[in-house]
Amino acid sequence: MAGSNTSLDAEKIRRDFPVVTSSINGKPMVYLDSANTSQKPVAVIDAMTAFMREGYAPINRSAYSLAAEATEKYEGARTKVAKFINAKSSREIVFTKNATEALNLIAYSWGRTNLKRGDVVVLTHMEHHANIVPWQMLQQEIGIELRWVPLTSDFQLDLSSLSNLLAGAKVFSFTSMSNVLGTINPVEKLCAAAHAVGALAIVDACQSVPHAPTDVQAWGADFTMFSSHKMCGPSGVGVLWGREALLEAMPPFLGGGNMISEVRLDGFKCAELPAKFEAGTPPITEVIGLGAAVDYLNGIGMANVRRHEVEMSSYVLENLTARFGDEITIHGPRNPELRGATFSFAFRGIHPHDLSQILDQTNVCVRAGHHCAKPLMKIIGANATARASFYLYNTKADADALANALDSASDIF
Partner 1 sequence: MPGVEDLYREIILDHYRTPRNRGELPPPAVCTEGNNPLCGDDIRIFLDIADGVVRDVKFSGQGCSISQSSTSMMTVAIKGKPVEEVRALVRRFKHMMTLSDDEGAVDESIKLGDIEALGGVVKFPVRIKCATLGWNTLLEGLNSSQG
Residues with active-site annotation:
372
Residue of 162, 200, 216, 368 that binds partner 1 (CB under 8 A): 368
Q: How many CA atoms lie within 13 A of 52 on its CB side?
A: 12
Would you count residue 360 as binding partner 1 (CB under 8 A)?
Answer: yes
Contact map string, positions 42 to 81, toward partner 1, x by CB under 8 A: ----------------------------------------
Q: How far is the CB of 353 from partner 1 (least distance, A)?
A: 4
* Number of residues near partner 1 (by CB under 8 A): 19
Would you count residue 357 as binding partner 1 (CB under 8 A)?
Answer: yes
CB 167, CB 140: distance < 8 Å:
no
Stretch that binds partner 1, among 168-176, 245-253, 326-334, 353-361 (CB under 8 A): 353-361
Residue placing its CB nearer to partner 1 in the complex, 168 or 375 = 375
Positive/negative CA dihedral, 114, 117, 119, 120? positive
Mind giving me the DSSP string for 147-212? EEE-B-TTSSB--TTHHHHHTTEEEEEEESB-TTT-BBP-HHHHHHHHHHTT-EEEEE-TTTTTTS
Distance from C-alpha of 335 to C-alpha of 252, rounded to nearest angstrom:
43
Q: How far is the CB of 412 from partner 1 (least distance, A)?
A: 5
Q: How far is the CB of 91 from partner 1 (least distance, A)?
A: 39
User: For residues 134-193, which are near partner 1 according to CB under 8 A?
Assistant: none
* Inter-helix orientation angle 284-300/65-84, to 10°: 40
Helix, coil or strand: residue 26: coil
Residue type, 402: L
Q: How far is the CB of 350 from partner 1 (least distance, A)?
A: 8
Q: How far is the CB of 362 from partner 1 (least distance, A)?
A: 11
Reported for 253-258, long-range contacts at CB under 8 A and 24+ positions apart, including other chains, are 253/104, 253/105, 253/108, 253/109, 253/277, 253/279, 254/279, 254/280, 255/279, 256/280, 257/281, 258/60, 258/61, 258/282
Mind giving me the DSSP string for 377-397? HHHHT-S-EEEEE--TT--HH
Stretch that binds partner 1, among 225-233, 315-323, 330-338, 368-376 (CB under 8 A): 368-376
Distance from C-alpha of 302 to C-alpha of 211, rounded to nearest angstrom:
7
Residue of 187, 384, 401, 402 that binds partner 1 (CB under 8 A): 384
Q: How far is the CB of 140 from partner 1 (least distance, A)?
A: 20
Residue of 18, 19, 24, 163 that binds partner 1 (CB under 8 A): 24
The CA dihedral of 247, 252, 254, 260, to the nearest 10 degrees, is: 110
Geometric angle at alpha carbon 40, from 219 and 58, rounded to 5°: 85
What pairs with residue 223 in β-bridges? 202, 242
Q: How far is the CB of 243 from partner 1 (least distance, A)?
A: 36
Residue of 370, 387, 389, 390 that binds partner 1 (CB under 8 A): 370
Residue placing its CB nearer to partner 1 in the complex, 277 or 343 = 343
Would you count residue 383 as binding partner 1 (CB under 8 A)?
Answer: yes
Residue placing its CB nearer to partner 1 in the complex, 272 or 411 = 411
Residue of 369, 375, 400, 407 that binds partner 1 (CB under 8 A): 369
CB 180, CB 129: distance < 8 Å:
no
Residue of 358, 392, 399, 405 that binds partner 1 (CB under 8 A): 358
Distance from C-alpha of 172 to C-alpha of 122, rounded to nearest angstrom:
5
Residue placing its CB nearer to partner 1 in the complex, 156 or 363 = 363
Residue of 90, 270, 351, 375 that binds partner 1 (CB under 8 A): 351
Residue placing its CB nearer to partner 1 in the complex, 195 or 374 = 374
Q: Which residues bind partner 1 (CB under 8 A)?
A: 24-25, 351-354, 357-358, 360-361, 368-370, 374, 377, 383-384, 412-413
